[in-house]
Structure 1
């Protein structure tokens, strides 16, 4: 609710609120503002005040009015360059392919993917945030990491590290430990097949910059990871959304894409898929690898949640032996977000090209953090830490599911891993904006689709949805929207 003030009118307060959210990317390009009537009810002001506030936003160039549709946040970003020889600036494929495999029309990122990322740095409130994609900081606290850092930064070691670049491929000790770790997952990689990176997202970026050029077609899971959609879009790629089913990707859709578009890459989360929690079934994995061999595209397998996943879960890289697959993972989720240590494992024929891309972007990666991580792995501390996190997450998931069901949501996918994919029965874009007023950052379903579409689904973080107060507020808000 807005309050009358001697210094700021209600119109100014309301327009300033929306303007700040737009500038912070909490209201992203293409997002629809509440209708005049809805906004008046939500904020306790008159419809004329809302109209005046929206007019001010129009004058500032932050929103645009669409006839019979309402007010929408303006897109202010420049379009990426067209692919060489292209006659169109569109980043997505147009209409001549079959309807069942038609690529998205228009901008692919439905709600700015940076909204949730910014939420990690600029907290909406001190309340638990259901839309966040990470474990709470208190879950990650440990004593062994500071001890490892102190050990590897002894006076002589710190001097040696500081006065020279690290190894181009990453600390050799860490790469040996990573090879051992991958062996437990049946992924055949030697230290020479592994390159360390500044987090898993950097690894994904290295792969795409090495294998792709602007205008190339890339198959992505839908629903899938919004940050990856935004990153590929920014590089000028043409996204081909593949429906993600409980057993894996829709292979019929993929086969048609291959026949029509000759995609260069498929980006997949096989285990504890984000946002659904699905895990890949062996039969689907075998058929997918056959498709990759037949049509010549690579697969990058993002195994970010490997530390909380069962070792026996089906992974494409284990079945394929890194022939056409590239394995990506990291440690920010489970250990230390600010260390930014990730890695990739690939076939020897790709390693030099991938390494060149890394060197052009970052030269090397921080040897101090990598060596400390290798020590934590060698002493078994990381494994025990992950086991504690898994146990705590299992208990949290059980509590969160009960609270969610009592609040009237249904699960669109069997609860598993860190995330739940739930159906609210209302437009979650609108719900997210209302809950933001209450200090809660949600992750609406539209965020996880390669093409903007209204959705009643949203992703919840089981670790941050154990608060009964949140679910009570959620229930009250949903009742006003039905």
Structure 2
């Protein structure tokens, strides 16, 4: 609460609270501040105090006033008077291609708001908006043992004093080839390239196959980080509605006829944020469309470790001809090891490898070799099984609490995430919950263009706390 006895005025305290959140990107560019009346009620101050605080933020260039609409966090690079001009990127370079695309189809919500929330600890409470499992869920004895094994021998000297293999550690690529064979994805070790996490793998594919201005089909709702990353590269996003069985193929066909897209980015299994899984029929029709219109598909299988058995994957049905498989281990094993990989058609391998070499040269062989041991000895598989069992129990508890709090699930609960309809504007709700120490993931984050949403994504592992749902219900009732 704001303190009347503080050395700062209530106006200064309120402006400082919003200013800190904007600096830490807990309030994303484009986010709407609460109305004067709502803010006054929420913080127990007079409307004139709120007006004065918003005026301070306006003077500092942190927000902008939009006639008859309210106050909004300034977009990165947006001029104070609201006139269009190209934003400035690192080293003072004007991001011309990005700006052209963004002005044509509204820049996506700044996904770094959620990412920064992962690193900027706002409280000790479980965080419903987080995209990862709790650290205590990932603890194991086999990971440290694997690291000790690869660093306690001559191997440490051999792999530390020279660059690693361009494609990645051979032992890991062989282990990954075996793992993919279990998913019916036909990839030999020499078709696999290791990367610094799955996001790096997606970036390699984009930088190899695309040029600024190229049209790219993305799922909507979809992964906010991917929207922001592609937009930063200057791509023209084409949002495809994601349904329970897969993408809206009619919309895709129209895009193909008009824009001739070069790439489609998909999370086929346990889609983020809905947890939908692609149906075999939809997968077959999608691959026919890709063949007919000559575009590639990059399939992000980030959640494969917690996926249901026999889930349909495009790469399995296609045999890595028009598809590129992307995977990683941050969600299930070791986020800070930053190990990901891609498996690609042979004709694309050299181009993809060139892009990797230009960006990172090689990847850390020590951790790759330690991961290979965890896979070869079956420890990763057993660990994943334990996580799935624990997640199933957590999901059941979270769903019950959410329903009791008045939520409705917009998609059948599955996997790590729930797609929840709250019935209120979740942008506004997220700001109120932030005051209570909870970071939410409002629905606007998962759309290529910002628009109000009553939906939010919850993490089933971090929403088992009845105290969170009690506070949630209280605040929703007031909205």
TM-score of the pair, normalised by structure 1? 0.95
Deviation at 1:5, TM superposition (A): 3.1
Match of 1:356 in 2: 354
State the Cα deviation string for residues 283-337 of structure 1 (Å, max 9, x = none). 1100100000011110000000000112410000000000000000000100000
Tell me how far apart the structure 1 counterparts of residues 229 and 76 of structure 2 sit (CA, whole Å).
17
SS in structure 1 opposite 2:100?
Answer: coil
Match of 1:90 in 2: 100
CA separation of 1:220/1:93 partners in 2, compared to 1, >3 Å: closer, same or farther?
farther
Match of 1:124 in 2: 122
**Aligned ranges 1:219-298 → 2 under 5 Å:** 219-298=217-296
Match of 1:185 in 2: 183
Tell me how far apart the structure 1 counterparts of residues 180 and 102 of structure 2 sit (CA, whole Å).
36
2:305 is equivalent to residue 307 of structure 1? yes
Tell me how far apart the structure 2 counterparts of residues 233 and 269 of structure 1 sit (CA, whole Å).
18
Match of 2:44 in 1: 44
RMSD (Å), alpha carbons: 1.2
Match of 1:99 in 2: none
Tell me how far apart the structure 2 counterparts of residues 75 and 5 of structure 1 sit (CA, whole Å).
35
SS in structure 2 opposite 1:249?
Answer: coil
Whether the 8 Å contact between 1:82 and 1:215 is mirrored in structure 2 is no
SS in structure 2 opposite 1:181?
Answer: helix
- Specify every segment of 5 or more residues in structure 2 that has no aligned partner in the other structure, as ranges: 78-86, 89-93
State the Cα deviation string for residues 383-435 of structure 1 (Å, max 9, x = none). 00000000000000001000000000000000000000010000000000000
Whether the 8 Å contact between 1:168 and 1:359 is mirrored in structure 2 is yes
Match of 1:57 in 2: 57
Match of 2:168 in 1: 170
Match of 1:196 in 2: 194
Deviation at 1:146, TM superposition (A): 0.2
Whether the 8 Å contact between 1:184 and 1:311 is mirrored in structure 2 is no
Deviation at 1:108, TM superposition (A): 2.0
Whether the 8 Å contact between 1:19 and 1:62 is mirrored in structure 2 is yes
Deviation at 1:93, TM superposition (A): 8.7
State the Cα deviation string for residues 25-51 of structure 1 (Å, max 9, x = none). 111111111111110000011111111
Match of 2:335 in 1: 337
Whether the 8 Å contact between 1:93 and 1:238 is mirrored in structure 2 is no
**Aligned ranges 1:441-452 → 2 under 5 Å:** 441-452=439-450
Tell me how far apart the structure 2 counterparts of residues 75 and 26 of structure 1 sit (CA, whole Å).
14
SS in structure 1 opposite 2:239?
Answer: strand
Whether the 8 Å contact between 2:102 and 2:231 is mirrored in structure 1 is no
Tell me how far apart the structure 1 counterparts of residues 406 and 71 of structure 2 sit (CA, whole Å).
30
SS in structure 2 opposite 1:149?
Answer: helix
Number of residues paired by the alignment?
465
Tell me how far apart the structure 1 counterparts of residues 475 and 151 of structure 2 sit (CA, whole Å).
52
Tell me how far apart the structure 2 counterparts of residues 346 and 221 of structure 1 sit (CA, whole Å).
21
Whether the 8 Å contact between 2:24 and 2:120 is mirrored in structure 1 is no
Tell me how far apart the structure 1 counterparts of residues 132 and 6 of structure 2 sit (CA, whole Å).
42
- Specify every segment of 5 or more residues in structure 1 that has no aligned partner in the other structure, as ranges: 95-104
State the Cα deviation string for residues 229-271 of structure 1 (Å, max 9, x = none). 0000100000000000000000000000000000010000000
Deviation at 1:115, TM superposition (A): 1.6
Whether the 8 Å contact between 2:301 and 2:326 is mirrored in structure 1 is yes
Deviation at 1:6, TM superposition (A): 4.3
State the Cα deviation string for residues 200-219 of structure 1 (Å, max 9, x = none). 00000000000000000000
Tell me how far apart the structure 1 counterparts of residues 99 and 151 of structure 2 sit (CA, whole Å).
51
**Aligned ranges 1:312-323 → 2 under 5 Å:** 312-323=310-321
Tell me how far apart the structure 2 counterparts of residues 207 and 322 of structure 1 sit (CA, whole Å).
14
